[in-house]
Structure 1
């Protein structure tokens, strides 16, 4: 995947702000997560990079993911029981998640009605929304 020069420039600036060096390994983490539409944990990202023939340590992945989250490149999802998944945020439309508590499956959805209700609630209380996180924890219906 070819990453836009501005994204790499912003990534380098974010790393520098955190006192971290820009390295080929950190670039591999960025490229891997931005090239995927999946919700993945650190180990899945590690395996994906390894399969492509690159080497990067788990601690480097975690440090890089923290920077990518803090600077808005990716989103960190708490999917329950302490488990965390990551997804790209850049160029990805705003959406919500349903997380199956039995299988761990994550289903993305967009429903403008939910956003309208949230906007009304904020406005009725003299606030404006500056960020949203909406996750539904679900399980299959019993038949």
Structure 2
């Protein structure tokens, strides 16, 4: 996706969120819209705390409960997907028609890298069939160290 279409997709998502709020008789408050802007405007997998931090960096703020409630509404709208990587908290990413993908999670800095591999897709189907199982979906998260943290230059690199 080019930068221009990224911007267009973000605007479309923001308008879709406004429409969802209107259709469900929920107020389109400045806080809700600012939270949506943060999550829909990034390709990162943000935690609720990271959303709140980014809001403050933009000169806005919202209470923790408001952030969590708005994230729930965004997930219900289908515009955002909730991810649980077993870190003790959830992360959120814009769905934006993203095809199925897998995740690499750095256990030091928390960086999440997405990847797709058609060989893996075929392999999961073959494995399921070998066990007389009809595959519907799967999820793969590979935990380890990103290149920056392995080299000691990552956000969470040992000091």
| TM category, shorter | 0.7 to 0.9
Structure 2: distance between partners of 1:119 and 1:12:
41
Residue by residue over 1:37-89, the C-alpha shift from the partner in whole angstroms, topping out at 9 and shown as x without a partner, is 11211121112122222232211110111122234221222233413221111
* Corresponding pairs, count: 137
Structure-2 change in CA distance of 1:108 and 1:140 (3 Å): closer
- TM-score of the aligned structures, taking structure 1 as reference length: 0.75
Structure-2 change in CA distance of 1:36 and 1:128 (3 Å): same
Contact 2:21 2:27 in 1 (8 A): no
Q: What's 1:68 paired with? A: 74
Displacement of 1:94 in angstroms is 2.9
Which residue, 8, 11, 28 being the options, matches 1:3? 11
Which residue, 114, 124, 127 being the options, matches 2:134? 127
Structure 1: distance between partners of 2:128 and 2:78:
23
Unpaired runs of 5+ residues, structure 1, are none
Which deviates the most, 42-51 or 117-126? 117-126
Structure 2: distance between partners of 1:63 and 1:35:
18
Contact 1:3 1:31 in 2 (8 A): no
Alignment of 1:1-143 (within 5 A): 3-4=11-12, 5-13=15-23, 16=24, 20-122=26-128, 125=132, 127=134, 129=136, 131-139=137-145
Superposed CA RMSD in Å reads 2.8
Displacement of 1:126 in angstroms is 6.0
- TM-score of the aligned structures, taking structure 2 as reference length: 0.69
Unpaired runs of 5+ residues, structure 2, are 1-6, 151-159
SS of 2:11's equivalent?
Answer: coil
Contact 2:35 2:70 in 1 (8 A): yes
Structure 2: distance between partners of 1:49 and 1:79:
23
